[in-house]
A and B are shown apart, each in its own frame.
Chain A
Amino acid sequence: MNAVGLLARKEAGELLLSSRGLGWLLAVSVVLSGFGLLLIGSQELSLLDNAQVVYDMLGIVTGLGALLAVAAGADAIAGERERGSLLPLLLAPIPRGGLLLGKIAGQAAAWAVMLVLAMPYLWAVGSTGQNMIGGGIALVLLGTPVALGFGFLALGLGARLGSSRGTLMPCLILLLLSASPLLLGPSLRQSAIGVAFDTVNPFSAALNAYDAVVIDGQGAASQVWHGLVALIWLAGTAAFAGVGIHRLRH
Protein backbone atom coordinates (compact mmCIF):
# COMPACT_ATOMS: atom_id res chain seq x y z
CA MET A 1 0.00 0.00 0.00
CA ASN A 2 1.42 3.40 -0.95
CA ALA A 3 1.84 6.31 1.44
CA VAL A 4 -1.42 7.95 0.43
CA GLY A 5 -3.30 4.71 1.00
CA LEU A 6 -1.67 4.29 4.39
CA LEU A 7 -2.63 7.83 5.36
CA ALA A 8 -6.20 7.30 4.19
CA ARG A 9 -6.40 4.08 6.16
CA LYS A 10 -5.05 5.78 9.28
CA GLU A 11 -7.52 8.66 8.92
CA ALA A 12 -10.45 6.35 8.33
CA GLY A 13 -9.41 4.21 11.29
CA GLU A 14 -9.25 7.24 13.56
CA LEU A 15 -12.62 8.44 12.36
CA LEU A 16 -14.40 5.13 12.55
CA LEU A 17 -12.67 2.65 14.83
CA SER A 18 -11.47 4.85 17.65
CA SER A 19 -13.68 5.51 20.64
CA ARG A 20 -14.07 9.07 19.39
CA GLY A 21 -15.14 7.88 15.95
CA LEU A 22 -17.62 5.41 17.38
CA GLY A 23 -18.88 8.20 19.62
CA TRP A 24 -19.56 10.30 16.53
CA LEU A 25 -21.45 7.49 14.87
CA LEU A 26 -23.38 6.91 18.08
CA ALA A 27 -24.31 10.60 18.18
CA VAL A 28 -25.45 10.45 14.56
CA SER A 29 -27.56 7.37 15.23
CA VAL A 30 -29.12 9.02 18.29
CA VAL A 31 -30.12 12.04 16.19
CA LEU A 32 -31.64 9.82 13.50
CA SER A 33 -33.37 7.71 16.15
CA GLY A 34 -34.77 10.81 17.82
CA PHE A 35 -36.17 12.00 14.52
CA GLY A 36 -37.75 8.62 13.86
CA LEU A 37 -39.29 8.45 17.33
CA LEU A 38 -40.67 11.97 17.01
CA LEU A 39 -42.36 10.93 13.80
CA ILE A 40 -44.16 8.12 15.58
CA GLY A 41 -45.41 10.33 18.37
CA SER A 42 -46.64 13.27 16.33
CA GLN A 43 -50.26 13.30 15.25
CA GLU A 44 -49.83 16.51 13.28
CA LEU A 45 -47.36 14.78 11.01
CA SER A 46 -50.02 12.30 10.02
CA LEU A 47 -51.04 14.59 7.20
CA LEU A 48 -47.63 14.40 5.65
CA ASP A 49 -46.95 12.07 2.84
CA ASN A 50 -44.58 9.32 3.73
CA ALA A 51 -42.32 10.62 0.96
CA GLN A 52 -42.03 13.91 2.84
CA VAL A 53 -40.64 12.05 5.82
CA VAL A 54 -38.09 10.25 3.66
CA TYR A 55 -37.10 13.60 2.15
CA ASP A 56 -36.63 15.06 5.63
CA MET A 57 -34.51 12.10 6.64
CA LEU A 58 -32.29 12.50 3.56
CA GLY A 59 -31.79 16.17 4.43
CA ILE A 60 -30.88 15.35 8.02
CA VAL A 61 -28.38 12.68 6.94
CA THR A 62 -26.74 15.18 4.56
CA GLY A 63 -26.58 17.78 7.32
CA LEU A 64 -25.05 15.33 9.76
CA GLY A 65 -22.56 14.18 7.13
CA ALA A 66 -21.52 17.76 6.47
CA LEU A 67 -21.21 18.37 10.22
CA LEU A 68 -19.01 15.30 10.62
CA ALA A 69 -16.91 16.41 7.63
CA VAL A 70 -16.46 19.88 9.14
CA ALA A 71 -15.31 18.43 12.46
CA ALA A 72 -12.94 15.98 10.77
CA GLY A 73 -11.69 18.60 8.29
CA ALA A 74 -11.00 21.13 11.05
CA ASP A 75 -9.00 18.50 12.88
CA ALA A 76 -7.18 17.19 9.81
CA ILE A 77 -4.51 19.91 9.56
CA ALA A 78 -5.18 22.38 12.36
CA GLY A 79 -5.61 19.54 14.85
CA GLU A 80 -2.34 17.93 13.70
CA ARG A 81 -0.61 21.27 14.20
CA GLU A 82 -2.06 21.68 17.71
CA ARG A 83 -1.00 18.16 18.66
CA GLY A 84 2.47 18.76 17.25
CA SER A 85 2.12 15.96 14.71
CA LEU A 86 1.97 18.14 11.61
CA LEU A 87 5.73 18.42 11.20
CA PRO A 88 6.36 14.66 11.01
CA LEU A 89 3.44 14.41 8.61
CA LEU A 90 4.89 17.08 6.34
CA LEU A 91 8.30 15.45 6.47
CA ALA A 92 6.87 12.09 5.45
CA PRO A 93 7.46 11.17 1.79
CA ILE A 94 3.96 12.15 0.73
CA PRO A 95 3.33 14.89 -1.83
CA ARG A 96 1.04 17.67 -0.66
CA GLY A 97 -1.63 16.53 -3.10
CA GLY A 98 -1.34 13.03 -1.68
CA LEU A 99 -1.68 14.44 1.82
CA LEU A 100 -4.93 16.13 0.83
CA LEU A 101 -6.13 12.97 -0.87
CA GLY A 102 -5.32 10.81 2.14
CA LYS A 103 -7.07 13.16 4.52
CA ILE A 104 -10.21 13.47 2.43
CA ALA A 105 -10.27 9.72 1.78
CA GLY A 106 -10.63 9.19 5.51
CA GLN A 107 -13.59 11.55 5.54
CA ALA A 108 -15.05 9.82 2.51
CA ALA A 109 -14.84 6.52 4.36
CA ALA A 110 -16.61 8.07 7.36
CA TRP A 111 -19.31 9.45 5.05
CA ALA A 112 -19.70 6.02 3.45
CA VAL A 113 -20.21 4.46 6.87
CA MET A 114 -22.74 7.16 7.68
CA LEU A 115 -24.61 6.32 4.50
CA VAL A 116 -24.69 2.67 5.51
CA LEU A 117 -25.87 3.73 8.97
CA ALA A 118 -28.64 5.85 7.44
CA MET A 119 -30.09 3.04 5.31
CA PRO A 120 -31.98 1.23 8.09
CA TYR A 121 -33.44 4.56 9.19
CA LEU A 122 -34.60 5.34 5.65
CA TRP A 123 -36.16 1.91 5.46
CA ALA A 124 -37.80 2.40 8.85
CA VAL A 125 -39.49 5.71 8.04
CA GLY A 126 -40.19 4.93 4.38
CA SER A 127 -43.11 2.64 5.09
CA THR A 128 -44.68 3.07 1.65
CA GLY A 129 -41.36 2.56 -0.10
CA GLN A 130 -42.15 5.46 -2.41
CA ASN A 131 -39.06 6.36 -4.46
CA MET A 132 -36.79 4.95 -1.78
CA ILE A 133 -34.19 3.65 -4.22
CA GLY A 134 -34.15 6.92 -6.16
CA GLY A 135 -33.81 8.79 -2.88
CA GLY A 136 -30.88 6.61 -1.85
CA ILE A 137 -29.17 7.23 -5.20
CA ALA A 138 -29.77 10.97 -4.89
CA LEU A 139 -28.30 10.90 -1.39
CA VAL A 140 -25.14 9.26 -2.68
CA LEU A 141 -24.85 11.44 -5.78
CA LEU A 142 -25.75 14.79 -4.21
CA GLY A 143 -25.01 14.29 -0.53
CA THR A 144 -21.46 13.08 -1.13
CA PRO A 145 -20.13 16.22 -2.87
CA VAL A 146 -21.98 18.45 -0.40
CA ALA A 147 -20.60 16.69 2.68
CA LEU A 148 -17.08 16.24 1.33
CA GLY A 149 -17.09 19.85 0.14
CA PHE A 150 -17.58 20.96 3.73
CA GLY A 151 -14.71 18.66 4.70
CA PHE A 152 -12.46 20.29 2.09
CA LEU A 153 -13.54 23.73 3.25
CA ALA A 154 -12.68 23.00 6.88
CA LEU A 155 -9.44 21.35 5.85
CA GLY A 156 -8.39 24.32 3.73
CA LEU A 157 -9.37 26.83 6.38
CA GLY A 158 -7.59 24.81 9.05
CA ALA A 159 -4.43 24.82 6.94
CA ARG A 160 -4.59 28.62 6.80
CA LEU A 161 -5.69 29.40 10.34
CA GLY A 162 -3.78 26.69 12.17
CA SER A 163 -6.44 26.48 14.87
CA SER A 164 -9.15 23.87 14.90
CA ARG A 165 -11.38 26.02 17.10
CA GLY A 166 -10.89 29.02 14.84
CA THR A 167 -11.70 26.80 11.86
CA LEU A 168 -14.79 25.25 13.36
CA MET A 169 -16.60 28.51 14.06
CA PRO A 170 -16.81 29.96 10.52
CA CYS A 171 -17.37 26.51 9.03
CA LEU A 172 -20.26 25.78 11.38
CA ILE A 173 -21.80 29.18 10.71
CA LEU A 174 -21.55 28.58 6.97
CA LEU A 175 -23.02 25.11 7.41
CA LEU A 176 -25.92 26.50 9.40
CA LEU A 177 -26.59 29.09 6.75
CA SER A 178 -26.25 26.60 3.95
CA ALA A 179 -28.50 24.05 5.65
CA SER A 180 -31.18 26.63 6.50
CA PRO A 181 -33.46 25.26 3.73
CA LEU A 182 -33.95 22.28 6.04
CA LEU A 183 -35.99 24.62 8.23
CA LEU A 184 -37.31 27.03 5.61
CA GLY A 185 -39.57 25.23 3.18
CA PRO A 186 -39.63 26.06 -0.54
CA SER A 187 -42.56 28.45 -0.07
CA LEU A 188 -40.42 30.60 2.23
CA ARG A 189 -37.65 30.79 -0.36
CA GLN A 190 -39.64 32.24 -3.24
CA SER A 191 -38.28 35.78 -2.96
CA ALA A 192 -35.53 36.94 -5.31
CA ILE A 193 -33.00 36.53 -2.51
CA GLY A 194 -34.31 33.07 -1.71
CA VAL A 195 -34.14 31.97 -5.34
CA ALA A 196 -30.61 33.37 -5.73
CA PHE A 197 -29.57 31.67 -2.49
CA ASP A 198 -31.03 28.37 -3.69
CA THR A 199 -29.25 28.69 -7.03
CA VAL A 200 -25.76 28.88 -5.56
CA ASN A 201 -26.23 26.93 -2.34
CA PRO A 202 -25.02 23.33 -2.69
CA PHE A 203 -27.15 22.22 0.25
CA SER A 204 -30.23 23.63 -1.46
CA ALA A 205 -29.22 21.81 -4.63
CA ALA A 206 -29.11 18.53 -2.73
CA LEU A 207 -32.43 19.19 -0.97
CA ASN A 208 -34.16 20.25 -4.17
CA ALA A 209 -32.89 17.10 -5.86
CA TYR A 210 -34.21 14.96 -2.98
CA ASP A 211 -37.53 16.79 -3.26
CA ALA A 212 -37.73 16.17 -7.00
CA VAL A 213 -36.75 12.52 -6.76
CA VAL A 214 -38.56 11.39 -3.61
CA ILE A 215 -41.65 13.59 -3.50
CA ASP A 216 -42.18 14.42 -7.17
CA GLY A 217 -41.04 11.03 -8.42
CA GLN A 218 -38.55 12.34 -10.97
CA GLY A 219 -35.52 10.27 -11.94
CA ALA A 220 -32.21 10.90 -10.19
CA ALA A 221 -30.64 11.35 -13.64
CA SER A 222 -32.85 14.37 -14.26
CA GLN A 223 -31.14 16.33 -11.51
CA VAL A 224 -28.17 17.37 -13.66
CA TRP A 225 -28.28 21.04 -12.69
CA HIS A 226 -28.42 20.29 -9.00
CA GLY A 227 -25.61 17.79 -9.40
CA LEU A 228 -23.58 20.39 -11.25
CA VAL A 229 -23.99 22.90 -8.41
CA ALA A 230 -22.86 20.27 -5.91
CA LEU A 231 -19.85 19.33 -8.09
CA ILE A 232 -18.84 22.97 -8.52
CA TRP A 233 -18.97 23.30 -4.74
CA LEU A 234 -16.83 20.19 -4.35
CA ALA A 235 -14.29 21.34 -6.96
CA GLY A 236 -14.12 24.87 -5.50
CA THR A 237 -13.57 23.71 -1.95
CA ALA A 238 -11.08 21.06 -3.10
CA ALA A 239 -9.08 23.76 -4.86
CA PHE A 240 -9.30 25.92 -1.74
CA ALA A 241 -7.99 23.06 0.40
CA GLY A 242 -5.33 22.15 -2.17
CA VAL A 243 -3.91 25.67 -2.20
CA GLY A 244 -4.01 25.77 1.59
CA ILE A 245 -2.07 22.52 1.90
CA HIS A 246 0.50 23.55 -0.70
CA ARG A 247 1.16 26.75 1.24
CA LEU A 248 1.63 24.90 4.52
CA ARG A 249 4.80 25.78 6.39
CA HIS A 250 6.43 23.61 8.99
Chain B
Amino acid sequence: MATDDHYVIIGNGPSGNRAGEILQANDPEARITIISDESVPLYYKHKLTSFIAGYVKEEDLMVETGLDPDRIRMRLGQCVERIDPENSRIFLRHMEKVRYTRLIIAAGGRPGLPQSMSAFSDHLSFLSCFRDVITQKEPVNKAEKFFVIGGDLVGFRFVKMLAAMEKEVCMTLCPEAFWPFELKPDMTAAVCRNLEPLGIEVLANDQAASVAAQNGAYNVTTANGEARQADMVFAFPGLVPNISFAAGQGIDMDHGILVDEYLRTNIDNIYACGSCAQIYNPKLKTYATSVGWPNAVIQGETAALNLLGENRVIEPAPRKFFELEGVRVRTSWWEDVDDISERKPVNRDTHS
Protein backbone atom coordinates (compact mmCIF):
# COMPACT_ATOMS: atom_id res chain seq x y z
CA MET B 1 0.00 0.00 0.00
CA ALA B 2 1.35 3.41 -0.93
CA THR B 3 2.23 5.68 1.97
CA ASP B 4 2.43 9.44 2.28
CA ASP B 5 6.08 9.25 3.26
CA HIS B 6 8.37 11.42 1.26
CA TYR B 7 12.03 11.01 2.14
CA VAL B 8 14.22 13.79 0.84
CA ILE B 9 18.00 13.63 0.70
CA ILE B 10 19.97 16.82 0.14
CA GLY B 11 23.23 15.95 -1.61
CA ASN B 12 24.26 13.29 -4.10
CA GLY B 13 27.74 12.48 -2.86
CA PRO B 14 28.67 9.04 -1.52
CA SER B 15 26.68 9.63 1.64
CA GLY B 16 23.47 10.79 -0.05
CA ASN B 17 23.60 8.06 -2.66
CA ARG B 18 24.13 5.34 -0.07
CA ALA B 19 21.25 6.71 1.98
CA GLY B 20 19.09 6.58 -1.14
CA GLU B 21 20.01 2.97 -1.78
CA ILE B 22 19.15 1.96 1.77
CA LEU B 23 15.82 3.78 1.77
CA GLN B 24 14.91 2.33 -1.59
CA ALA B 25 15.72 -1.18 -0.43
CA ASN B 26 13.99 -0.93 2.93
CA ASP B 27 10.86 1.06 2.23
CA PRO B 28 9.45 0.06 -1.12
CA GLU B 29 6.39 2.27 -0.75
CA ALA B 30 7.91 5.63 0.14
CA ARG B 31 8.66 8.41 -2.29
CA ILE B 32 12.33 9.25 -2.31
CA THR B 33 13.93 12.38 -3.76
CA ILE B 34 17.57 13.35 -3.98
CA ILE B 35 18.22 17.05 -4.50
CA SER B 36 21.66 18.29 -5.43
CA ASP B 37 23.24 21.38 -6.92
CA GLU B 38 25.67 19.10 -8.76
CA SER B 39 24.42 18.65 -12.29
CA VAL B 40 25.72 15.09 -12.71
CA PRO B 41 25.20 11.85 -10.80
CA LEU B 42 27.75 10.47 -8.36
CA TYR B 43 31.32 10.63 -9.67
CA TYR B 44 34.84 9.89 -8.45
CA LYS B 45 36.23 13.21 -7.29
CA HIS B 46 39.78 11.94 -7.06
CA LYS B 47 39.79 11.26 -10.80
CA LEU B 48 38.90 14.83 -11.75
CA THR B 49 42.52 15.91 -12.21
CA SER B 50 43.21 12.94 -14.49
CA PHE B 51 40.12 13.89 -16.47
CA ILE B 52 41.52 17.38 -17.07
CA ALA B 53 44.74 15.92 -18.42
CA GLY B 54 42.75 13.63 -20.68
CA TYR B 55 43.91 10.41 -18.96
CA VAL B 56 40.35 9.53 -17.92
CA LYS B 57 37.19 9.75 -20.00
CA GLU B 58 34.03 11.35 -18.68
CA GLU B 59 32.20 8.02 -18.50
CA ASP B 60 34.99 6.59 -16.32
CA LEU B 61 34.37 9.32 -13.79
CA MET B 62 30.88 8.14 -13.08
CA VAL B 63 30.11 5.76 -10.22
CA GLU B 64 27.63 2.99 -10.75
CA THR B 65 25.09 3.14 -7.97
CA GLY B 66 22.20 0.91 -7.04
CA LEU B 67 19.68 3.72 -7.30
CA ASP B 68 16.58 2.76 -9.25
CA PRO B 69 15.52 5.72 -11.42
CA ASP B 70 11.92 4.49 -11.25
CA ARG B 71 11.97 4.65 -7.48
CA ILE B 72 14.16 7.65 -6.75
CA ARG B 73 13.63 11.04 -8.25
CA MET B 74 17.00 12.67 -8.89
CA ARG B 75 16.70 16.45 -8.97
CA LEU B 76 20.14 17.50 -10.12
CA GLY B 77 21.33 21.05 -10.66
CA GLN B 78 18.82 22.34 -8.11
CA CYS B 79 20.01 24.41 -5.22
CA VAL B 80 18.46 24.28 -1.76
CA GLU B 81 18.02 27.78 -0.44
CA ARG B 82 16.55 27.10 2.98
CA ILE B 83 15.00 24.45 5.17
CA ASP B 84 11.80 25.19 7.02
CA PRO B 85 11.70 22.48 9.72
CA GLU B 86 8.56 23.82 11.32
CA ASN B 87 6.52 23.11 8.21
CA SER B 88 8.71 20.26 6.90
CA ARG B 89 9.50 22.12 3.70
CA ILE B 90 12.56 22.85 1.62
CA PHE B 91 12.83 26.05 -0.41
CA LEU B 92 14.70 25.65 -3.67
CA ARG B 93 16.45 28.59 -5.27
CA HIS B 94 14.05 28.60 -8.18
CA MET B 95 11.24 29.34 -5.68
CA GLU B 96 9.79 25.85 -5.52
CA LYS B 97 8.86 24.42 -2.15
CA VAL B 98 9.35 20.69 -1.57
CA ARG B 99 7.59 18.98 1.31
CA TYR B 100 9.20 16.10 3.15
CA THR B 101 8.22 13.80 5.92
CA ARG B 102 11.81 12.94 6.79
CA LEU B 103 14.99 14.56 5.66
CA ILE B 104 18.63 13.53 5.37
CA ILE B 105 21.14 16.32 4.92
CA ALA B 106 24.21 15.01 3.12
CA ALA B 107 25.27 18.20 1.39
CA GLY B 108 29.01 17.62 1.58
CA GLY B 109 31.54 20.43 1.57
CA ARG B 110 32.56 23.51 -0.34
CA PRO B 111 36.00 25.08 -0.79
CA GLY B 112 37.11 26.44 2.57
CA LEU B 113 38.99 29.47 1.33
CA PRO B 114 40.53 31.39 4.26
CA GLN B 115 39.06 34.86 4.69
CA SER B 116 42.56 36.27 4.26
CA MET B 117 42.38 35.23 0.61
CA SER B 118 38.88 36.57 0.04
CA ALA B 119 40.29 39.88 -1.23
CA PHE B 120 41.63 38.16 -4.35
CA SER B 121 39.27 35.21 -4.60
CA ASP B 122 37.91 36.49 -7.92
CA HIS B 123 41.27 35.67 -9.50
CA LEU B 124 41.44 32.13 -8.16
CA SER B 125 40.32 28.95 -9.88
CA PHE B 126 39.11 25.87 -8.03
CA LEU B 127 38.66 22.20 -8.80
CA SER B 128 36.15 21.21 -6.18
CA CYS B 129 33.35 19.79 -8.32
CA PHE B 130 32.51 18.46 -11.76
CA ARG B 131 31.33 21.86 -12.94
CA ASP B 132 34.73 23.40 -12.09
CA VAL B 133 36.52 20.75 -14.07
CA ILE B 134 34.39 21.18 -17.18
CA THR B 135 34.96 24.94 -16.96
CA GLN B 136 38.69 24.68 -16.38
CA LYS B 137 39.66 21.83 -18.68
CA GLU B 138 40.29 23.91 -21.78
CA PRO B 139 41.95 26.90 -20.07
CA VAL B 140 44.27 24.54 -18.19
CA ASN B 141 45.35 22.87 -21.38
CA LYS B 142 46.02 26.24 -23.03
CA ALA B 143 47.86 27.91 -20.13
CA GLU B 144 51.60 27.49 -19.62
CA LYS B 145 52.45 28.98 -16.25
CA PHE B 146 50.58 28.02 -13.09
CA PHE B 147 50.65 29.23 -9.53
CA VAL B 148 49.07 26.80 -7.10
CA ILE B 149 48.08 27.66 -3.54
CA GLY B 150 48.54 24.26 -2.00
CA GLY B 151 46.27 23.37 0.82
CA ASP B 152 45.07 19.83 0.32
CA LEU B 153 45.86 16.47 -1.24
CA VAL B 154 44.07 17.18 -4.54
CA GLY B 155 46.51 20.04 -4.97
CA PHE B 156 49.41 17.56 -5.00
CA ARG B 157 47.70 15.45 -7.63
CA PHE B 158 47.04 18.55 -9.66
CA VAL B 159 50.61 19.88 -9.65
CA LYS B 160 51.97 16.46 -10.56
CA MET B 161 49.51 16.30 -13.42
CA LEU B 162 50.59 19.76 -14.58
CA ALA B 163 54.24 18.68 -14.42
CA ALA B 164 53.42 15.64 -16.52
CA MET B 165 51.76 17.99 -19.02
CA GLU B 166 55.08 19.92 -19.07
CA LYS B 167 53.59 23.07 -17.58
CA GLU B 168 55.59 25.52 -15.47
CA VAL B 169 54.37 25.20 -11.88
CA CYS B 170 55.04 27.07 -8.67
CA MET B 171 53.28 25.96 -5.50
CA THR B 172 53.02 27.38 -1.99
CA LEU B 173 52.82 25.03 0.94
CA CYS B 174 51.79 26.39 4.31
CA PRO B 175 51.86 23.55 6.87
CA GLU B 176 49.45 25.26 9.29
CA ALA B 177 46.88 25.85 6.59
CA PHE B 178 46.99 22.35 5.14
CA TRP B 179 43.80 20.30 5.20
CA PRO B 180 42.63 17.99 6.68
CA PHE B 181 45.69 17.78 8.95
CA GLU B 182 48.57 20.07 9.77
CA LEU B 183 51.73 19.09 7.92
CA LYS B 184 54.58 18.05 10.17
CA PRO B 185 58.09 19.20 9.20
CA ASP B 186 59.01 15.72 7.93
CA MET B 187 55.92 15.69 5.70
CA THR B 188 56.72 19.13 4.31
CA ALA B 189 60.29 18.06 3.61
CA ALA B 190 59.10 14.87 1.92
CA VAL B 191 56.68 16.81 -0.26
CA CYS B 192 59.43 19.18 -1.39
CA ARG B 193 61.83 16.27 -1.94
CA ASN B 194 59.38 14.48 -4.19
CA LEU B 195 57.89 17.39 -6.10
CA GLU B 196 60.99 19.37 -6.93
CA PRO B 197 62.60 16.67 -9.14
CA LEU B 198 59.45 16.86 -11.26
CA GLY B 199 60.30 20.47 -12.04
CA ILE B 200 57.77 21.90 -9.60
CA GLU B 201 58.94 24.89 -7.59
CA VAL B 202 57.68 24.57 -4.01
CA LEU B 203 57.59 27.65 -1.78
CA ALA B 204 57.47 25.87 1.56
CA ASN B 205 56.16 27.61 4.69
CA ASP B 206 54.72 30.39 2.58
CA GLN B 207 51.28 31.62 1.54
CA ALA B 208 49.88 33.79 -1.24
CA ALA B 209 49.48 37.34 0.03
CA SER B 210 48.08 39.00 -3.08
CA VAL B 211 47.00 38.11 -6.60
CA ALA B 212 46.57 40.91 -9.12
CA ALA B 213 45.33 40.59 -12.70
CA GLN B 214 47.43 42.16 -15.43
CA ASN B 215 47.02 41.76 -19.19
CA GLY B 216 45.28 38.42 -18.98
CA ALA B 217 47.82 37.00 -16.52
CA TYR B 218 48.31 37.26 -12.77
CA ASN B 219 51.01 38.69 -10.54
CA VAL B 220 51.26 36.75 -7.32
CA THR B 221 53.15 37.85 -4.24
CA THR B 222 53.65 35.71 -1.16
CA ALA B 223 53.86 36.41 2.54
CA ASN B 224 57.64 35.85 2.37
CA GLY B 225 57.97 38.45 -0.38
CA GLU B 226 58.33 36.14 -3.39
CA ALA B 227 56.78 37.38 -6.66
CA ARG B 228 55.70 35.17 -9.56
CA GLN B 229 53.67 35.55 -12.73
CA ALA B 230 51.15 32.95 -13.86
CA ASP B 231 48.53 32.39 -16.52
CA MET B 232 46.23 30.73 -13.98
CA VAL B 233 46.16 30.66 -10.19
CA PHE B 234 44.56 27.64 -8.54
CA ALA B 235 43.66 27.28 -4.87
CA PHE B 236 43.23 23.97 -3.06
CA PRO B 237 42.02 25.02 0.37
CA GLY B 238 40.24 21.83 1.41
CA LEU B 239 36.57 21.80 2.22
CA VAL B 240 34.25 23.14 4.87
CA PRO B 241 30.74 21.80 5.53
CA ASN B 242 28.21 23.14 3.08
CA ILE B 243 25.46 24.09 5.50
CA SER B 244 24.51 27.72 4.95
CA PHE B 245 21.03 26.73 3.73
CA ALA B 246 20.28 25.22 7.13
CA ALA B 247 21.38 28.23 9.18
CA GLY B 248 19.01 30.10 11.44
CA GLN B 249 16.17 27.59 11.24
CA GLY B 250 16.52 25.95 14.63
CA ILE B 251 18.80 23.15 13.51
CA ASP B 252 21.79 23.05 15.85
CA MET B 253 24.99 23.69 13.98
CA ASP B 254 28.49 24.70 14.80
CA HIS B 255 30.96 24.37 11.93
CA GLY B 256 28.84 21.49 10.67
CA ILE B 257 25.32 20.28 11.46
CA LEU B 258 25.35 18.82 14.95
CA VAL B 259 24.09 15.26 15.22
CA ASP B 260 24.24 12.65 17.93
CA GLU B 261 25.86 9.27 17.48
CA TYR B 262 22.64 8.12 15.77
CA LEU B 263 23.08 10.93 13.22
CA ARG B 264 19.92 12.65 14.48
CA THR B 265 19.81 16.43 14.54
CA ASN B 266 17.92 18.22 17.30
CA ILE B 267 14.85 18.23 15.00
CA ASP B 268 12.90 14.99 15.13
CA ASN B 269 12.65 14.07 11.47
CA ILE B 270 15.97 15.46 10.24
CA TYR B 271 19.25 13.53 10.01
CA ALA B 272 22.66 14.61 8.75
CA CYS B 273 25.64 12.61 7.56
CA GLY B 274 28.85 12.83 5.60
CA SER B 275 31.13 15.79 5.57
CA CYS B 276 28.44 18.37 6.39
CA ALA B 277 27.76 16.72 9.75
CA GLN B 278 29.54 17.23 13.06
CA ILE B 279 28.91 13.96 14.84
CA TYR B 280 28.94 13.42 18.58
CA ASN B 281 31.58 10.90 19.47
CA PRO B 282 30.96 9.36 22.88
CA LYS B 283 34.56 8.20 23.11
CA LEU B 284 36.07 11.61 22.36
CA LYS B 285 33.20 13.32 24.19
CA THR B 286 32.91 15.97 21.56
CA TYR B 287 31.63 16.56 18.04
CA ALA B 288 33.81 15.73 15.07
CA THR B 289 33.58 16.04 11.33
CA SER B 290 34.57 13.16 9.11
CA VAL B 291 37.12 12.38 6.47
CA GLY B 292 36.84 10.04 3.55
CA TRP B 293 34.55 8.26 1.18
CA PRO B 294 34.18 5.08 3.31
CA ASN B 295 33.05 7.14 6.28
CA ALA B 296 30.58 9.02 4.14
CA VAL B 297 29.12 5.77 2.83
CA ILE B 298 28.69 4.19 6.24
CA GLN B 299 27.16 7.37 7.62
CA GLY B 300 24.68 7.54 4.76
CA GLU B 301 23.74 3.97 5.49
CA THR B 302 23.34 4.55 9.22
CA ALA B 303 21.33 7.74 8.77
CA ALA B 304 18.94 5.99 6.39
CA LEU B 305 18.48 2.97 8.66
CA ASN B 306 17.84 5.17 11.69
CA LEU B 307 15.40 7.27 9.71
CA LEU B 308 13.55 4.03 9.06
CA GLY B 309 13.36 3.26 12.76
CA GLU B 310 16.57 1.47 13.63
CA ASN B 311 18.79 2.62 16.44
CA ARG B 312 22.30 2.24 15.14
CA VAL B 313 25.27 4.04 16.57
CA ILE B 314 27.65 5.27 13.90
CA GLU B 315 30.95 3.46 13.88
CA PRO B 316 34.10 4.78 12.27
CA ALA B 317 34.98 3.21 8.97
CA PRO B 318 38.18 1.16 8.87
CA ARG B 319 41.07 3.53 9.15
CA LYS B 320 42.23 5.08 5.97
CA PHE B 321 45.80 5.75 4.99
CA PHE B 322 46.99 8.38 2.56
CA GLU B 323 50.24 8.07 0.73
CA LEU B 324 51.46 11.66 0.98
CA GLU B 325 54.56 11.98 -1.14
CA GLY B 326 56.31 9.10 0.56
CA VAL B 327 54.88 9.72 4.01
CA ARG B 328 52.05 7.54 5.19
CA VAL B 329 49.33 9.66 6.79
CA ARG B 330 46.58 8.08 8.73
CA THR B 331 43.24 9.85 8.87
CA SER B 332 40.15 8.75 10.63
CA TRP B 333 37.23 10.83 11.71
CA TRP B 334 37.80 9.91 15.33
CA GLU B 335 41.14 11.62 15.56
CA ASP B 336 42.75 15.01 15.99
CA VAL B 337 39.49 16.86 16.22
CA ASP B 338 40.70 19.57 18.54
CA ASP B 339 43.65 20.36 16.35
CA ILE B 340 41.85 20.80 13.11
CA SER B 341 38.12 20.87 13.35
CA GLU B 342 37.59 24.44 14.39
CA ARG B 343 39.66 25.96 11.61
CA LYS B 344 39.02 23.64 8.75
CA PRO B 345 36.34 21.09 9.42
CA VAL B 346 37.48 17.99 7.69
CA ASN B 347 36.07 16.15 4.77
CA ARG B 348 37.82 14.52 1.95
CA ASP B 349 36.92 12.10 -0.74
CA THR B 350 39.63 9.55 -0.27
CA HIS B 351 38.35 6.81 -2.44
CA SER B 352 41.21 5.14 -4.20
The finding on whether chains A and B are genuine partners in a shared complex, rather than unrelated, reads no
Contacts from B to A (Cβ < 8 Å): none
